[in-house]
Amino acid sequence: MRDAVTTLIKNYDVAGRYFDRNAIDSLKSYFESGTARVQAAAAINSNAAAIVKQAGSKLFEELPELIRPGGNAYTTRRYAACLRDMDYYLRYATYALVAGNTNVLDERVLQGLRETYNSLGVPIGPTVRGVQIMKDIVKEQVAAAGVANAAFVDEPFDHITRELSEQDV
């Protein structure tokens, strides 16, 4: 897993260049947001189960056909698997949020996910909607924790939804 710093260094090293003004500004921004990133991760960590539960409830309220007979979250086993997956997305989004880099999402979550979901008959649309709902809840939690400028919270969740949405399903 790479973070914002190691990724920046790698890119400049491959090009054989010294850091320019853009690189320095990028590093400065990352370090200035470090405390807020850790506070956001702490807020997510202390509320993770509630975030997933609330997001699941809202998702099934919006898309009740998922929990009806024949729906993809119908049966206790499938319902639990859906919440488990939402928990995975939340956990890895938190890692990416702290790292300031979405690389971990590509390596550990998104690579092969579409193929797995397609083989299991899991619809991508509701998955994307569930991640969007979690993002909104997380933003509320982070704001409640006193993090003033939490624009960085969007990045990992938006990356997940964008990567899933852009897939040819």
The pLDDT of 70-92, averaged and rounded, is 96
Helix, coil or strand: residue 48:
helix
* Cβ 101 vs Cβ 10: under 8 Å: no
**Cα dist from 2 to 100, 144, 147, 159, whole Å:** 9, 29, 24, 16
Percent of residues, the chain, with pLDDT higher than 90: 87
The pLDDT of 151-167, averaged and rounded, is 90
pTM of the model: 0.90
With cut-offs at 50, 70 and 90, classify the pLDDT of residue 138.
very high
At residue 157, does pLDDT exceed 80? Answer: yes
At residue 103, does pLDDT exceed 80? Answer: yes
At residue 118, does pLDDT exceed 90? Answer: no
The pLDDT of 8-24, averaged and rounded, is 96
The pLDDT of 107-115, averaged and rounded, is 89
At residue 35, does pLDDT exceed 70? Answer: yes
The pLDDT of 90-111, averaged and rounded, is 95
Which of 160, 9, 28, 33 lies closest to 98, judged by CA? 33
Q: Which domains occur in the chain, in start order?
A: 1-32 (no CATH), 34-165 (1.10.490.20)
The pLDDT of 132-157, averaged and rounded, is 96
* Cβ 59 vs Cβ 130: under 8 Å: yes
Alpha carbon distance 76, 18 (integer Å):
56
The pLDDT of 125-137, averaged and rounded, is 97
The winner for highest mean pLDDT among 103-107, 134-138, 161-165 is 134-138
What is the per-residue pLDDT for 121?
Answer: 87
* Cβ 129 vs Cβ 59: under 8 Å: yes
Which residues, other chains included, contact 132 with Cβ-Cβ below 8 Å and sequence gap of 6+? 157, 161
With cut-offs at 50, 70 and 90, classify the pLDDT of residue 169.
very low
Question: Any idea what DSSP says for residue 123?
Answer: -
